[in-house]
Amino acid sequence: MNQIINLSGKGYSQIDQVILALIIQSLIYFLFGYYLFNVLPKKNGFSFSPFYPFKFLKKLLKSTSKKKNSIEDKNNYNDETIDMERIGENESCRLEREKAKNNSNSIFRTINLGKVYSNNSNEALSDVNIVGEKGDIIGLLGPNGAGKSTFINILSGLVKPTNGGVYINGYEIGNQMGKVYQNISYCGQFDILYKDLTIFYHLNFYTILKQNSTFFLKDNKEIQEYCQSLLKRMNLEEHKDKKVGQCSGGIQRKLSICLSLIGNSKLIFMDEPTNGLDQSNREMVYETIQSIKQDRTFVLTTHNMKEAQILCNKIAILSKGKLKAVGTTNQLKNSYGLGYQVDVYFKNLKDGNTLDNLIGYNFPTAVKKKPISQFLHSYSIPNDINLDYIFYLHNNKNENGILDIKISQSTCEDILLKVVENDLQM
């Protein structure tokens, strides 16, 4: 047979050589393809630097002296330049910035986070510092275009920031994406489900997919039991064998929420989670979130201010890409002097003008809200002000042409309107 003798004297047939060459070529092409996949810019998500294999090797050589998987380089962001611009920074944002800089044990923190899209010269996010700690449910509020989705998309690895740092459970976005992905879950604004698969199959599939060293079910029986417990928690048991395409929008929404709760993710993003759910299902979702929040952080966006008030222990208000205020509802109410909302219904238009004068005279710090109807005026009155005069008006309704007066506590909506009022007027 045709034999080729190599230097070591061992013989290989030509076919062996061809196979060997093919294997080596495939390996080279695979590595080259993998390299290109990682470095070429993508529409969404992160790309590595072209020199990343060298960096990786360097890190590998150094790693013996460092703790495994260790995490943050606390000073790898530059804070000096931005301090110059912070003259008008609100106190709550200043405190949050301090916390973000120092609190390395948080579930997530963004430090001077900024984003400018390549096709849009405006800053979608500018210098945003927010910290999420264990047990926090953070409501991200703001008008359209405020930067809420950009914020969530950066934290979930879909969009690359242009400035600043983001750490999730200690891992840095951009450099440790594998670890970051293991720590996050996402429930998008729109349901992304497989119409031909059943609800139970979805749960089963995602449970298998989300297993890792911190969330491990040892056999099929445990997986099935876990899925059953999820069905029970979200009240989906009777629909478990239905194909998703045959389920109502509300059920699909509940399934999307349920999928984002699978596993051990420390940070869960929810974009308008209860949109399209009826009141009882909303309450069930609130209870579920509350019952599993202990060692996690939730970040949710909502246009339902009541939801933000009931569910969130921390509110962060964005407007035009900037963080305008952050804190608990009560802290924000106090710092913006919001206390009560007084709604006055009257009979004639001229009574409305008289009423404005009376309120303005007796409560100089009251703010009149945009009227819903010509015969209903609403005012925001700070909480440190004595409301006796309102009770006096109520007792003498007829003299002032008033039909009825209602007093209620200010809501998240009042806070939001107050915080972004200047931006809305521009």
Residue 302: beta bridge partners? none
Count interface residues toward ligand ADP (CB under 6 A): 13
Instruction: Find the shortest distance in angstroms from Cβ 153 to ligand ADP.
Output: 7
DSSP of 99-141? HHHH-TTSSEEEEEEEEE-TT--SEEEEEEEEEE-TT-EEEEE
Examine residue 44 and tell whether it contacts ligand ADP (CB under 6 A): no
Does 156 bind ligand ADP (CB under 6 A)? Our answer is: no
Stretch that binds ligand ADP, among 146-154, 282-290, 328-336, 352-360 (CB under 6 A): 146-154
Quickly tell me which residue has 């007093």 as its tokens: 407
User: Footprint of Mg ion on this chain (CB under 5 A)?
Assistant: 149
Tokens at residue 322, please? Answer: 């900037």
Kindly state whether residue 147 participates in binding ligand ADP, applying the rule CB under 6 A. yes
CA-based nearest residue to 301, from 167, 130, 111: 130
Residue 119 contact partner, candidates Mg ion, ligand ADP, none, CB within 5 to 8 A by sort of partner: ligand ADP
User: Helices marked H in 210-304 — which ranges?
Assistant: 220-233, 249-261, 279-291
Strand-pair category, 297-301 with 137-141: parallel
In whole angstroms, the minimum distance from the beta carbon of 170 to ligand ADP comes to 26
Query: Does position 146 bind ligand ADP by CB under 6 A?
Result: yes
Instruction: Determine contact, residues 318/148, Cβ cutoff 8 Å.
Output: yes
Q: b/e per residue, 385-416, with b = 16+ CB within 10 A? A: bebeebeebbeeeeebebeebeeeebbbbbbb
DSSP reduced 3-state for 315: strand
Q: Which does 117 bind (CB under 5 to 8 A by kind): Mg ion, ligand ADP, none?
A: ligand ADP
| Residues in 99-118 at the binding interface with ligand ADP, rule: CB under 6 A | 117
Please report, as residue ranges, which positions from 123 to 142 form the binding site for ligand ADP (by CB under 6 A): 124, 142
Query: What is the bridge-based pairing of β-strands 267-271 and 297-301?
Result: parallel
From ligand ADP, Mg ion, none, interface partner of 121 (C-beta below 5 to 8 A by class): none
- Determine which residue in the list 90, 150, 156, 183 makes contact with ligand ADP, applying CB under 6 A: 150
Question: Is residue 239 part of the contact set for ligand ADP (CB under 6 A)?
Answer: no
Q: Which is nearer to ligand ADP, 150 or 297 (CB)?
A: 150
136/271 with CB nearer Mg ion: 271
Rg, the chain, Cα only: 28
Among 90, 129, 149, 302, which residue sits at the site for ligand ADP (rule: CB under 6 A)?
Answer: 149
Answer with the entry of Mg ion, ligand ADP, none that 54 interacts with (C-beta below 5 to 8 A by kind): none
Q: Which of 49, 122, 386, 396 binds ligand ADP (CB under 6 A)?
A: 122
Q: What is the dihedral of CA 151, 156, 160, 166, to 10 degrees?
A: 70
Given 6, 8, 64, 120, the residue binding ligand ADP (CB under 6 A): 120
Q: Cα(75)–Cα(172) distance, rounded to whole angstroms? A: 12
Q: How many residues does the chain have?
A: 426
| Contacting positions for ligand ADP (CB under 6 A) | 117, 119-120, 122, 124, 142, 144-150
